[in-house]
Structure formats: C-alpha cells, structure tokens
C-alpha cells in the first residue's frame, strides 16, 4: 500500500467532540496493518538523527512508539497531568475546544539528547507548543516534529515555527 492509500483511510467525523469540530478519526488507518506499516515507515524515514521518539497522549503514543521500534530508539511519553509516577515538568495549554495540562518526567532522557516529537494532529499548535517547552525543560535537543495530519485552517504551523524556528516540521497530510 502506498502512503496516499494509507492516509485515505482517515475519516472525518463532523460535530465531534462538540458542534463545529470536524474530528479526524485515524482508527480505520490504524486497524489496517498495511496502512499502519506504510505510515510508520514513512514517519520513521523523516528523521534519522533522533535518539528518542516522544509521543503525546494518547494517539501520539501509537505513532511514536511504533517509530521508536522501527528505528530501534527509545520512546518517551508526554502524558496528561497526574499520569506519570516520578517528578515531572508540566505545562498548561489551550485546545481548540478547551484547556489541558501535560507532563514529562524530569529524567526522561539525558540533557542534549536528540529527540523527535510525534503527534497525530497539528491543529492550533497548543499541544505541540506545550510539548516543545517540556522537552526544553528536560534538556532535549529537538531534531524534528512529525505529525500525521495538519489542519491548515487553524494555522498551528505558524505557531510551531515561531516556537521552534529551525526545527523541521513534517505533516503527512494537510486537511
């Protein structure tokens, strides 16, 4: 299966989780083994420098952990508040439909470690911007930002480019 075929399995769900939001459901793509393998292979090929793949809860975990396995590097989760057992750094951020808080372990990786940040969707950029701050707090050197899809109308890309001006930002599909 080629990348276009794999990405065509993503479906739009209108008015979820609230009216006016068009949710991009990746579960049909995830449930197709060939599609998932194609997407993970493509993501893994975009950054050969990183030593750690970092995924944001929850769907970013799926992608980042699979990329980590494919590349034989480590995986670090960024979790919602209260889910990590050891000392953490935390950031509050705004979503297109609310406010949330995420955390990373203070000892998630050695200072200076090259990391790639992976998530499913770039919308307004709030989640990724908060994650970039957490990675900086923990001493990481961001080598790339990878997202499955970008929602262009919400202009999150310009926000991320301001927050991480020299870091490559790759989206497999833009809607």
Catalytic residues: 59, 96
Look at residue 115 and give its three-state secondary structure: strand
Beta bridge partners of 92: 101
Map 59-107 to HEC letters.
HHHHHHHHHHHHHCCEEEEEEECCCCCCCEEEEEEEECCEEEEEEEECC
Alpha helices in the chain (DSSP H): 3-7, 27-30, 33-45, 59-71, 126-137, 156-163
Q: Could you count the other beta carbons within 10 Å of the beta carbon of residue 47?
A: 22
- For 100, counting Cβ atoms within 10 Å of its Cβ (0-12 exposed, 13-18 middle, 19+ buried), the class is middle
- For 51, counting Cβ atoms within 10 Å of its Cβ (0-12 exposed, 13-18 middle, 19+ buried), the class is middle
């Amino acid at each position: 299966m080629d990348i276009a075929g794999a990405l065509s399995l993503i479906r739009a769900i209108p008015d979820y989780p609230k009216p006016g939001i068009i949710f991009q459901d990746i579960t049909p793509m995830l449930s197709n083994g060939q599609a998932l393998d194609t997407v993970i292979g493509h993501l893994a090929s975009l950054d050969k420098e990183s030593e750690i793949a970092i995924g944001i809860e929850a769907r970013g975990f799926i992608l980042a952990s699979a990329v980590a396995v494919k590349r034989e590097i480590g995986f670090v989760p960024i979790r919602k508040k209260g889910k990590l057992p050891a000392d953490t750094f935390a950031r509050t951020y705004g979503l297109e439909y609310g406010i949330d808080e995420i955390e990373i372990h203070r000892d998630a990786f050695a200072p200076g470690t090259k990391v790639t940040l992976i998530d499913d969707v770039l919308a307004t950029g709030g989640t990724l911007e908060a994650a970039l701050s957490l990675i900086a707090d923990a001493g990481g050197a961001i080598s790339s930002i990878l997202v499955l899809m970008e929602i262009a109308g919400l202009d999150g890309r310009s926000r991320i480019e301001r927050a991480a001006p020299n870091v490559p930002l790759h989206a497999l599909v833009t809607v």
